[in-house]
A = this chain, B = another copy of it.
Amino acid sequence: MGVFYEKIAVIGVGLIGASFALAARQKQICHQIVCYDASEEARTEAAALGIGDKVASDLSEAVSEADLILLAVPVGVMGQVVQEIAPFLKDGAVVTDTGSTKASVFKDVMPHLPEGCHFIGGHPMAGTEFSGPSAGFPSLFANRYWLLVPEHAPEQAVTTLSDCLTSLGASVEQMEMRYHDKVVAITSHLPHLIAYTIVGTATDLESDLKNDVIRFSASGFRDFTRIAASDPTMWRDVFLNNDEAVLEMLQRFNEDLSYLQRAIRWHEGDKLFDLFSRTRTIRKSIIDAGQDS
């Protein structure tokens, strides 16, 4: 616990930005929190909900004199936002982000970062299928991993940010950016892509069948529809910005699916049974790792 920064600016008040501002206020990790969003509607909503001490009407007001700037915008616009705020950043300011991809964010952000400022990549592994300021809640990060990708940032700045996030309840871990992108490609991006696909496939069925698919949606499909209800803009940007790792994992997935498809066609029950038995053990590992119950 404690005050880690004088002023924090939160850019983007969707689910993540709003939750961070609410958590920061609750845990009093700074003296002032100023929010900003490019959408006037979101700014009005955030102000009405009392998210942050103040909702600024322009970027310069939000970031000037800020010690920490948290970018909670889609990964596709990170570079542009840093370009816009660069002239107003104070010397020594730390910029961090919450994007689900890291290599692309570093590539987009670093050219615009003023000398004397530092960038630390970040990725809170938390979320719901809801979006917008009203979706935010202060306990979103409690007991969730918040991955930090420091690359060349000074150790002191990384320690302060890490301690600050820990005080919000998050478990902070450091990771190299390309490795990060591979881990999330298989744990998050590929599952989302597949969920979007299968729900899309169902949407295209002839109408009687589609209605009964909705009506009798069993647990498997219901889980997929929840995943496939996630924010379209955010996920479009994720796939465009982690294309390399996603396409690599997708290639492996396709090979494995073809193997099962062939086993079904040729009635090779043993091959199916072997895989279905193996996948049970990874579930057990996840429960043992405390990631689900």
Residues of A at the B interface (CB closer than 8 Å) are 76, 125, 127, 129, 145, 147, 173, 179, 182-184, 186-188, 190-205, 209, 212-230, 232-233, 235-237, 239-240, 243, 246-247, 249-250, 252-254, 256-257, 260-261, 263-265, 267, 269, 272-273, 275-286, 289, 291-292
Number of copies of this protein chain within its complex:
2
A186 to chain B, nearest CB (A): 5
Main SS at interface, chain A: helix
User: Which chain B residue has the least Cβ–Cβ distance from A242?
Assistant: B264
Shortest Cβ distance from A264 into chain B, in angstroms? Answer: 5
What separation, in Å, do the CA atoms of A237 and B246 have in the docked complex? 32
With A197-B260, A264-B240, A264-B246 known to touch, is A218 a contact of B184 (CB < 8 Å)? yes
| B273:A221 contact, CB within 8 angstroms | no
| Contact between B283 and A196, CB atoms less than 8 A apart | no
> How near does chain B come to A200, taking the closest CB pair, in angstroms?
5
Q: Could you say which residues of chain B place their CB within 8 Å of the CB of A212?
A: 179, 183
Q: Which residues of B contact A239 (CB under 8 A)?
A: 260, 263-264, 272
Q: Are A195 and B220 in contact (CB under 8 A)?
A: yes
Complex: A222 Cα to B284 Cα, angstroms: 11
CA–CA, A237 and B257, complex, Å = 17
Q: Are A220 and B276 in contact (CB under 8 A)?
A: no
